Each structure stands twice: as C-alpha cells, then as structure tokens.
Amino acid sequence: MEIFKSESIVDFFDTFQTDYDCLNYLAQKKWENGFKCKKCNHTKCTIRKYNLARDCNRCHHIESPTANTMFHKVKFGIRKAFIIVYEMCCTTKSISASHMAKKIGVSRPTAWLFMQKVRIAMKSSELHDMQGAVIVDEFVFGGVEDLKQGRSSDTKKKKLVGAVEINEKRKIKRAYFKRIKDYSSKELNKIFETHISEEATITTDKWSGYKPLKKNYNIKQIKSNTSDFFEINTIIHQLKSGLRSVYSWVHEEHIEKYLNEFSYRLNRSIHKQTIFDNLINRLTNNKHIGYKDIIIST
C-alpha cells in the first residue's frame, strides 16, 4: 500500500477527503498481511463496499476496519479522528483540547478523550535505549514559580526527571521524561532502567541520589550550572513552556501522557514525513482503550 508521506496539510486533505478514504487507509494497514477471521481463522472474506468491513466466508463474522483498534467506536467520524492525529504529530507545538474541539467541531470532552488515546499510542516502545552521551537532570513543574531548575520540596509541584541523548556535535538526538515521587535513587532510577543503556556515558549534577546508580551506570557528576547542561536545560524549558501555554492544569496522573507526546514529536523531528503514518500504525495495532481506562478514579 502507498503510505502517506508528507508534512503538508494540503496533501493531507487531498488524501483524506472522506470517512471512506480514512477507513480504506486503516483497512489496508489492518489487513496488510491478508485477512484472518478472528472467530474461525478462515482466510477468505467478502469486502462490504460501503464500509470496507470484512465478512468471513465461512462463519460470516463481520469485522470493521476500526474493530480492536484505538479508532473503535469513535462516534464523531473517523476523518475527524484522523485530523486530530495529524494535528497532534505534524505540528511543532501541542494544542489544547478546547482549541482542538473548536477546530474540528466536537465537544471539548470528546476531543480530550481521543487526544488522550493518541497520547497513549505515542508512548515509547522502550526498546531502544539511549547509548551515547546522555545528560540527566531533575526538575519541577507547576505551582507558582516553575521557572526554577533543579529540586524543590514544594508538594504542589510535579517532580520530573529528564534524559537527553546528544551526538558528537552536541545536537539533541532524543529526550525522555518520567514523573517521580521524590529525588531518591529508587525514583531517579526509573528513567535509567527504562531509557538508558548501561554502556552510555552519563552526566548528572552533584545530587547524592545519583551516587548509588554508579554501580550499574557510567555516571560523571558535575556542577549543574556548567555548559554541559545547556541542551537538557533548553529541552526542559521547551517542555515547560509548551505545557504552560496549552494546559492550564495537568493532573498528576495524566502528566506522563503529555510527556509521551512531547518526546514522541521531538524524537521524530527528523522523520516528519512519515510521522503521521507511524502514529496511525500505532493506533491500529493498539487494542481498543475505553473511557474507563483513561479517566482517573478519585
């Protein structure tokens, strides 16, 4: 199948003019390797012309292109859902749910819910550790003064740790973030064990919490106000200003999803042409996620 490869919004609207165009794209992705009935494993089917659903020739189980994907039961139309996906990956900055709702003509809760699903799909596969030069730093977000770098004991602030991989020319290759409960080694280790290879050359500030991690990692601790922290400070600043400008309030439990979104876009900034297709793949292969899986039970 021909995959959508463009950053142009004109190309996007030319390719996806109707719900049918979007369903067709999804159907091609879903049955890329041929049809197999979910009920009886039969491999022959009849395609229903009007909605591209597959009707099994043996047991007549019908499967729609959206079934078992994150587009399942999207009531506002699949084309609008495609537009949300495009907006979230092809723009450089995040859009708030209320702005998105107005843009595509749905209610704010509807936009918010689907955007949360997209953010879940944006989560790192955690299969590709950062290998080279990596800088790690902890910071806070929220509260009255959130411009301050480093640690804070203010309980209203969200505590975060970030890791940035840079190349020989000190250009940022990738960045990941984690929410942490405190600045203990156990909490700081979360970003190490998920995203950093034991072979990496890591720089941190002089905080004692990093010391025990030296057992498994190659960590150099230096003063945080040196130029070695320039790249991570720039990224943290971008993340904070992005969060501040579009989300007046981000619940503690949801912040990881916003961090996923930020990293997903940043880490693919050199693959912008195929970012939409990549995200559609993820949404197609992810199981259906319902409202109950997203809302916080408090």
Applying CB under 5 A, the residues found at the interface with Zn ion are 37, 39-40, 42, 56, 58-59, 61
In the complex, minimum distance from the CB of residue 174 to Zn ion, in angstroms, rounded to a whole number: 43
In the complex, minimum distance from the CB of residue 31 to Zn ion, in angstroms, rounded to a whole number: 14
Q: Cα dist. 80→83, 117, 256 in Å?
A: 5, 14, 25
CB nearer Zn ion, residue 46 or residue 245? 46
| Start-to-end CA span in the chain (Å) | 45
CB nearer Zn ion, residue 64 or residue 94? 64
| Of the candidates 59, 134, 115, 71, the residue with the CA atom closest to the CA atom of residue 246 | 115
In the complex, minimum distance from the CB of residue 46 to Zn ion, in angstroms, rounded to a whole number: 11
CB nearer Zn ion, residue 47 or residue 59? 59
Q: How big is the chain, counted in residues?
A: 298
Which amino acid, one-letter code, is at 196? I
CB nearer Zn ion, residue 46 or residue 225? 46
Within its chain, how far is the Cα of 242 from the centroid?
Answer: 15
Give dist(CA 193, CA 178) in Å, integer.
11
Give dist(CA 290, CA 103) in Å, integer.
24
Report helix, strand or coil for 90: helix
In the complex, minimum distance from the CB of residue 25 to Zn ion, in angstroms, rounded to a whole number: 24
In the complex, minimum distance from the CB of residue 61 to Zn ion, in angstroms, rounded to a whole number: 5
In the complex, minimum distance from the CB of residue 63 to Zn ion, in angstroms, rounded to a whole number: 9
Backbone φ and ψ for 212, nearest 5 degrees, come out as -60, -20
| Of the candidates 233, 194, 203, the residue with the CA atom closest to the CA atom of residue 134 | 203
In the complex, minimum distance from the CB of residue 139 to Zn ion, in angstroms, rounded to a whole number: 53
CB nearer Zn ion, residue 61 or residue 190? 61
CB nearer Zn ion, residue 36 or residue 288? 36
Structure tokens belonging to residue 15: 């390719």
Give dist(CA 262, CA 247) in Å, integer.
13
CB nearer Zn ion, residue 61 or residue 179? 61
* Rg from Cα positions in the chain: 22
CB nearer Zn ion, residue 56 or residue 133? 56
DSSP state string for 25-44: HHHHHHTTT----TTT----
In the complex, minimum distance from the CB of residue 54 to Zn ion, in angstroms, rounded to a whole number: 9
DSSP 247: -
Give dist(CA 196, CA 43) in Å, integer.
42
